[in-house]
Amino acid sequence: MLNPQHILSISQHLISNICTLKGGAGLAYIPGLFMHVKGKSGKNIINKHRALTRFDPQVARAIEAEVRRQQDKIILIASENYVSQAVLEAQGSVLTNKYAEGYPRARYYGGCEHVDVVEELARTRAATLFGAEHVNVQPHAGAIANLAVFLAVLKPGDRVLGMGLDHGGHLTHGSPANISGKYYQSFSYKVDPRSGYLDMEEVRREAHKVSPRLIIAGASSYPRIIDFAAFAKIAQEVDALLLVDMAHIAGMVAVGLHPSPVPHAHFVTSTTHKTLRGPRGGMILCQNQFARAVDKAVFPGIQGGPLMHIIAAKAVAFKEAQTEDFYNYQEQILKNARVLAQHLKELGFELVSGGTDNHLLLLDLRGKGITGRDAELLLDDLGITTNKNAIPDDPQNRMTTSGIRLGTPAVTSRGMQEAEMKQIADLINKAIEGRGDARVMARVKREVKNLCAAFPVISEKII
């Protein structure tokens, strides 16, 4: 009988030699979930992770179903991606067992000598990657990173100027629904509703009128390059601090394919997923003069013990981002976004700002006679996952919207290129134009299934 160590050794050997055939059967591996996938048989995934299946089959089945969803659907949500096997392994490691309140060499618990190494690797790699003077990698999310900056330099009631949520900004940039708009006086600037671009003179006028303590640049649905130098100049004019939230563009910034905010801003926050393709989490980059205040704001100001397994996965992602493969990946994200945008325009779709400079595009669907919510539901039923999104001065409410947001990071991780972007644009157009026609819907669903089978998620290419 094989002992557990022998079984583990065999499994690792199989994993290292994994091969997934396009559209066919193959061994698929996600750390913690070792499965055999039946290609076209339609049979359920056989879960070999016996401990989870035996103890909690409901969770195991939900994970299996999510694996199938990520394989069988075209993911066009701009903030989602597929992480590498190395990132997954770090995130699923025994570091989850360790409590480590504090910072390297200044912890409130013993036994932190190894997690200190991990956190230092994450901090130094991020600092090198982005040219930052100081980095805090402990925030559990981008929202926490933004809040920590607020806590570090603002007092309740201070004025904050950020991009309006209804014009492409983020909830944490001063929305009245969020703590950033409840504890602080929040004001917003907008994009030009006709061009879809930021008007920096309008931002300047608003800043001089408001006299904010903090100006926030960055967006969640703005498809154009932001002029960080112009924001820095405006902040200097009104004696404000500048925070840039680069969550969506961090991957492109890391490789130099998008202007960096680091030389211009007092603080830069980001998630570590999205285009950076790391684990779900956040980080703060700042000038040395704010290092102590930022660190104290994160811990003990907002958080307790850091998630050391997530920090390990961040360290791995930062190392991946230093490779030539990652540069090529970011380059392809941009190519794919431009082709997708152009082909959709040729098919009669209206794009806010007329196109894209980054990984995302925003469609105004009013000319197609469908709301964002209905388009999201329609497309998802056919295997294309998007998200409804407000357009500037949207006449619809935020749960309905007049637009959808599309992004190319996840499909690019699957290996799709320009030809597939044209195919996806055609599928979106067929679905929206042919809605209500059962034959068209069946044809689109079949084409989506074939495209997904040709670019498997669970392969060496991604994990």
* Residues β-bridged to residue 241: 214
Q: Catalytic one among 64, 119, 206, 245?
A: 245
- The residue annotated as part of the active site, out of 213, 274, 314, 430, is 274
Q: Are 126 and 137 in contact (CB under 8 A)?
A: yes
The tokens for 325 are: 């493969």
First to last CA, the chain: 31
Which listed residue (101, 166, 227, 350) is catalytic?
101
Annotation says 101 is catalytic: yes
DSSP letter, residue 456: -
Scored b (16 or more CB within 10 A) or e, 175-192 reads beebebbebbebbbbbbe
- Tell me if residue 274 is catalytic: yes
Q: Give buried/exposed letters for 306-331 (b at 16+ CB in 10 A, else e).
A: bbbbbbbbbbbbbbbbeeeebbebbe
300 preceded by cis ω (within 30°)?
Answer: yes
Active-site annotation holds for 69: no
Residue 245 falls in the annotated catalytic set? yes
Residue 362 and residue 351 in contact, taking contact as beta carbons nearer than 8 Å? yes
CA 331 to CA 316: how far, in whole Å? 21
Q: Which of 280, 314, 405, 430 is catalytic?
A: 280
SS3 106: strand
For the beta carbon of residue 220, count every other beta carbon within 10 angstroms: 22
In order of 56, 442, 452, the CA distances from 70 in angstroms are: 22, 20, 9
45's CB contacts (< 8 A; 6+ apart) are 28, 35, 36, 37, 38, 64, 67, 68
Tokens 């089959």 map to which residue? Answer: 57
Q: By the 8 A CB rule, do 181 and 175 touch?
A: yes
Catalytic residue among 20, 269, 271, 371: 271
Q: Please name which of 433, 315, 417, 324 lies closest in space to residue 370, comparing C-alpha atoms.
A: 433
Q: Has 393 been annotated as catalytic?
A: no
DSSP summary character for residue 412: H
The residue written with tokens 């196109």 in the block is 355
**Residue owning tokens 């082709």:** 339
Q: Single out the residue of 135, 186, 196 nearest to residue 157, CA to CA.
A: 186
Helix (H), strand (E), coil (C) string for 236-291: HHCCCEEEEECCCCHHHHHCCCCCCCCCCCCEEEEECCHHHCCCCCEEEEECHHHH
What is the rounded CA–CA span in Å between residue 90 and residue 309? 6
Could you say which of 53, 99, 335, 345 is catalytic? 99
Catalytic residues: 99, 101, 245, 271, 274, 280
